[in-house]
Amino acid sequence: MLASVATFTLDGISSREVTVEVDARRGLPTFTLVGLADRAVRESRERVRAALLNSGLDFPQQRLAANLAPAHVHKHGASFDLAIAVGLLAATGQVPHERLASHAVCGELSLSGRLRPVRGALAFAVGARHAGYEHLIVPEENAEEAALVSEVEVLPVPDLARIVDLLRGEWAPLAPVAGRRVFQPPPPELELGEVRGHADAKRALEIAAAGGHNLLMIGPPGAGKTMLARRLPAILPPLSFEEALEVTQIHSVAGLAPGGLVDRRPFRSPHHTVSAQGLVGGASPPRPGELTLAHRGVLFLDELAEFSRAALDSMRQPLEEGRVEIVRGQRSVCFPARAMLVAACNDCPCGRPAACSCSDLELSRYLRRLSGPLLDRIDLVCQIEAVPTVELVTGPDRSRGTSSAEVRDQVARARRRQVDRLASTGAHCNADMDGSLTRRLVELSSDAAASLLGLSQGAALSGRGHDRVLRVARTIADLAVREEVEARDVEEALGYRLSPFGRLAA
């Protein structure tokens, strides 16, 4: 007898429908699996056999063949276990066929017959909706996440025996709570208001958070660059529901989702030994890299100068386009990568501010390592200075700044203005605007235009640099709740631009 069951395979961060066909007929008892399956999929035969027997079901002594269609798509992972098992049960008449037309299934089997969670449940649910299935059977742990897709009824199931009951119409699971928000309050030590001094750096963080701008912090070791960057998540604007779905889907595919909606902007800080593949994604099957995991959030690169040139260069195009296109063999996948880049580096190669004896040549060589096209994408450059000890010890409440919550409110308000302005353009924040959008949407007052013209002559601004200044000025005006960009906004934005790197007179 023949049975077919619908399931999904991951393709980048989205999914693709796979039909599992199982044929059972008399003959020598064998079990073959065809359809470009990787090792984990082929091993599923053993899991399925043991799971069926341990669930008190019958594993038929027949000639069994399972085909994963379409046959040209590579299949990997263990999420086909359940579909193969259900196909076998249907092909041998242990469960009725009727419900299989409207139910898609996914799940990994343990030998005991229990269902284990899979990566990418949200992507599978999206796929199920797209393919028109009314029900999706998932392991219990994946239920909340999959239930974020409202048009599909998600059926969480604990083990194989329950599925048999379900398909026979003898049992129905409780509907999962859809879209429960996983709220993790920021740890108290990451409060921005506790940072003493660093008024300038806090301002830079505020602007960066409000507009999604890339930020580079330069300063001596121990001055507080990392400390400041770690406080950035506390002031980021909240994710919109659509953004949260995107982030959840990515994290689910990468196996990082906590189960449910990811509600906070991601903050990724890979170590500087990360490879180019680790940063932008790769391997086979292609997996998202740090840049994609930081989508709609922050990618923090501490000790920027220590990253390999290859890794940094690999981010150039993704940062420009907001997505990563990875081609491996005959398949190509596209990962979203709209992250805000925050980088920190020392201000000289030796890293000893008190006893620095770096020559100009060493310094310019060091800066040149950083420079190049990556720095072209940096909107804000901020020098971090060590706060004098006097201020750390005695300068208490005077320098105690606004709290994270207050800054977050301002940032959120500025971001709402941007979202309203950018509605239907595809951009989410000022940093997303491309050149033409920038020139169309950034209204300069006549003073501001004159100021920009006057100051940019001395500053030798390139066209790209010009746009960057405009975008940052737009964000500064948004923070001040002004529709028109004024001269001081432009001036402040100009103050954050990159110094003439690499052009150090020797």
Among 34, 101, 361, 405, binds another protein (CB under 8 A): 361
| Residues 501, 189: Cα–Cα separation, whole Å | 35
Q: Is residue 367 a contact point for another protein (CB under 8 A)?
A: yes
Among 262, 382, 411, 444, binds another protein (CB under 8 A): 382
Residue type, 10: L
| Residues 57, 69: Cα–Cα separation, whole Å | 26
Q: Is residue 447 a contact point for another protein (CB under 8 A)?
A: no
CB of 174 to another protein, least distance (A): 54
CA distances from 55 to 153, 367, 480 (A): 25, 64, 64
Among 197, 281, 288, 289, binds another protein (CB under 8 A): 197
Q: Is residue 25 a contact point for another protein (CB under 8 A)?
A: no
With CA atoms as reference, report the closest residue to 20 among 56, 70, 58.
Answer: 70
Q: Between 283 and 361, name the residue whose CB sits nearer to another protein.
A: 361
CB of 497 to another protein, least distance (A): 9
Mark 47-76 with x for binding to another protein (rule: CB under 8 A) and - for no binding: ------------------------------
Q: Is residue 501 a contact point for another protein (CB under 8 A)?
A: yes
Span near another protein by CB under 8 A; candidates 58-66, 159-167, 168-176, 192-200: 192-200
With CA atoms as reference, report the closest residue to 241 among 191, 153, 181.
Answer: 181
Q: Between 90 and 452, name the residue whose CB sits nearer to another protein.
A: 452
State the DSSP code for 397: T
Q: Is residue 203 a contact point for another protein (CB under 8 A)?
A: yes
Q: Is residue 194 a contact point for another protein (CB under 8 A)?
A: no
| Residues 393, 108: Cα–Cα separation, whole Å | 57
Q: Is residue 419 a contact point for another protein (CB under 8 A)?
A: no
Among 136, 210, 218, 261, binds another protein (CB under 8 A): 218
Tokens of 348: 């000289």
With CA atoms as reference, report the closest residue to 257 among 148, 159, 339.
Answer: 148
Q: Between 52 and 473, name the residue whose CB sits nearer to another protein.
A: 473
Span near another protein by CB under 8 A; candidates 92-100, 114-122, 264-272, 455-463: 455-463
Span near another protein by CB under 8 A; candidates 121-129, 240-248, 402-410, 452-460: 452-460
Burial, 351: exposed, middle or buried (Cβ in 10 Å; 0-12, 13-18, 19+)? Answer: middle
The phi and psi torsions of 235 (rounded to 5 degrees) equal -115, 5
Span near another protein by CB under 8 A; candidates 199-207, 304-312, 332-340, 421-429: 199-207
Residue with tokens 């920038």: 438
Let me know: does 230 contact 192? Beta carbons within 8 Å. no
Helices (H), 191-308: 199-211, 225-230, 241-253, 276-280, 290-293
Burial, 231: exposed, middle or buried (Cβ in 10 Å; 0-12, 13-18, 19+)? Answer: buried
CB of 444 to another protein, least distance (A): 15
CB of 348 to another protein, least distance (A): 8
Q: Which residues are at the interface with another protein (CB under 8 A)? A: 197-204, 218, 347-348, 357, 359-361, 363-364, 367, 381-385, 387, 451, 454-455, 458-460, 476, 488-489, 491-492, 494-496, 499-506
